[in-house]
Amino acid sequence: MAGDTDLAALSCQAMIDVPRIRPVLDKIADKWTIMILTVLCPQPARFNEIKRRLDGITHKSLADALKRLERHGLVTRAVLPTSPVGVEYTITPLGHSLRTPFEALCAWALEQEDAFAAAALAYDRAQG
């Protein structure tokens, strides 16, 4: 079947590309990156504002994530001339380029929420 051949070829190419793809995905497919970029997408935000909007993130996790995102060009950090000194984070054009795939992934997650729950329940019942 032609579709199977196409899938096999795509799968083969994906496996060839893994050494190039994985390092990039490792930087954006973690627990907090999508949520941090979602907070920064509409407008810049200060550290504590981001932390408040991301219920459950620790100070250290947010600081580490923001440093990583800045290092990889997804956000910029600006020191504000306030007293006390403030820091504001802004999403970059590279960060904005993730908006479409992230929106698609979030939409898919919402559409599949019930299927995920049902699959987990069925698995748990079968195991126990």
pLDDT per residue, tens digit, the chain (128 aa), is 456 678 888 888 888 888 888 888 888 888 899 899 999 999 999 999 999 999 899 999 999 999 999 999 999 999 999 888 889 999 999 999 998 998 898 899 999 999 999 999 999 999 97
| Amino acid 46: pLDDT | 95
| Amino acid 2: pLDDT | 53
Tokens 């620790």 locate to 58
- Give yes or no for a contact between 44 and 88, defined as CB atoms under 8 angstroms apart: yes
Class of domain 5-127: mainly alpha
Strand partners, 73: none
| Amino acid 63: pLDDT | 96
How far, in Å, CA of 21 to CA of 65, rounded? Answer: 20
Buried b (16+ CB within 10 A) or exposed e, 32-48: bbbbbbbbbeeeebebe
pLDDT of 99-123, one tens digit each? Answer: 899 889 889 999 999 999 999 999 9
| Amino acid 103: pLDDT | 87
Handedness of CA 111, 75, 31, 63 (dihedral sign): negative
The C-alpha angle with vertex 102 and arms to 80 and 34, in degrees rounded to 5, equals 45
The C-alpha angle with vertex 41 and arms to 57 and 52, in degrees rounded to 5, equals 30
Task: Classify residue 113 as exposed, middle or buried by CB count within 10 Å of its CB (0-12, 13-18, 19+).
Answer: exposed
| Amino acid 128: pLDDT | 79
